[in-house]
């Protein structure tokens, strides 16, 4: 297939690795197709000194990429799926969710700290993270820890660990895998300790709605099981009106064991907590894989009925 396509990408090393993977896959799938990458800086990339929760989360890492597509400068954008708001701007659509990498969060210790478990951290140790989701779950497990905001790409965060003498930080295993630095992880959190961000581990490919040519080019990148899981997670997040400013986690997976009539099942787990981790609501729900949005809404309703509504109201009021 001949022709050309332009990908919009953030400029961090990880973002470029992700966009280059999509570029290379499109070239492999469609010999003769010219694929170029245009680096576009987003608001989230510019404001590195402010906590994410203080600068808003609607399109923080996506808006400028989306504007370029709507203006016709680019044809598609590659995002970390966890950065995608649940509401997509008019005129755009997510045309593919890719197969997930390891969805877990991992602890990355400083130069003088390489704990094997969370219990190995000394009492009162300082951990850096700008994620309210991670902060809440971490403090629910270890309320003695001191949490400080830390933002930037992986290299920047590692440098800040050393400069500020922190015990460590928390990163996504998928990001370290894509950076080919999985050895930085001291240990991985189990799901009962820390659930990942909605969409974590997958890439979201966004394009103009109705652009049949681009959708057809990207279609082979769609991973069906991941797509079902993310539809449930994003439905949960939408029903909870969540984003970077609220401590919400969600993870769905298609069961390896179909039900009695051979249909696939989805298991969705979720967490809502106060910023200080003192109030938390957890839940899980299983249902038919072919009705993922309904599963997300049902679990959200259950969490809200068990106190998540009050937690979220207090979090938003404090913001």
Residues marked active site are found at: 83
Alpha-carbon 86 to chain mean position:
12
Q: Are 161 and 169 a contacting pair, CB within 8 Å?
A: yes
β pairing state of 146-148 and 126-128: parallel
In the numeric block, the tokens 């850096």 are attached to 128
CA torsion sign for 268, 175, 90, 312 is positive
Q: Are 201 and 102 a contacting pair, CB within 8 Å?
A: yes
Q: Are 240 and 247 a contacting pair, CB within 8 Å?
A: no
Q: Considering all CA atoms of the chain, what is the largest pairwise distance in Å, rounded to the nearest integer?
A: 60
Number of residues that this document lists for the chain? 319
| Tokens standing for residue 174 | 């998928």
Q: Are 197 and 171 a contacting pair, CB within 8 Å?
A: no
The dihedral over CA atoms of 220, 225, 226, 232, expressed in degrees to the nearest 10, equals 130
Q: Are 150 and 162 a contacting pair, CB within 8 Å?
A: no
| Tokens standing for residue 15 | 């973002």
Spatial CA neighbour of 232 closest among 159, 300, 176, 173: 300
| Tokens standing for residue 307 | 């106190």
| Tokens standing for residue 70 | 């709507």
């Amino acid at each position: 297939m001949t022709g050309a396509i332009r990908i919009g990408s953030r400029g961090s090393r990880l973002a470029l690795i992700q966009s280059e993977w999509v570029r290379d896959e499109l070239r492999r799938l469609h010999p003769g197709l010219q694929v170029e990458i245009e680096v576009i800086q987003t608001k989230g990339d510019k404001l590195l000194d402010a906590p994410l929760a203080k600068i808003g989360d609607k399109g923080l890492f996506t808006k400028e990429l989306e504007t370029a597509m709507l203006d016709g400068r680019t044809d598609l954008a590659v995002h970390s799926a966890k950065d995608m708001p649940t509401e997509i701007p008019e005129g755009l659509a997510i045309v593919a969710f890719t197969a997930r990498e390891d969805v877990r969060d991992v602890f990355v210790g400083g130069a003088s700290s390489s704990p094997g478990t969370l219990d190995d951290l000394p009492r009162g140790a300082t951990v850096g993270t700008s994620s309210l989701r991670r902060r809440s779950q971490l403090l629910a497990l270890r309320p003695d820890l001191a949490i400080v905001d830390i933002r930037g790409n992986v290299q920047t965060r590692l440098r800040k660990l050393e400069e500020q003498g922190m015990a460590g930080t928390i990163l996504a295993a998928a990001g370290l895998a894509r950076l080919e630095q999985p050895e930085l992880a001291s240990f991985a959190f189990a799901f009962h300790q820390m659930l990942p961000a909605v969409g974590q581990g997958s890439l979201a490919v966004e394009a103009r709605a109705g652009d049949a040519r681009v959708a057809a080019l990207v279609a082979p990148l769609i991973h069906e099981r991941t797509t079902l899981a993310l539809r449930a997670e994003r439905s949960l997040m939408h029903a909870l009106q969540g984003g970077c400013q609220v401590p919400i986690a969600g993870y769905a997976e298609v069961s390896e064991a179909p039900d009695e009539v051979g249909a696939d099942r989805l298991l969705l787990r979720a967490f809502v907590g106060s910023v200080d981790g003192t109030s938390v609501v957890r839940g899980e729900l299983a249902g038919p894989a072919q009705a993922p949005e309904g599963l997300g809404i049902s679990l959200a309703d259950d969490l809200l009925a068990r106190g998540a509504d009050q937690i979220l109201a207090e979090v938003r009021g404090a913001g």
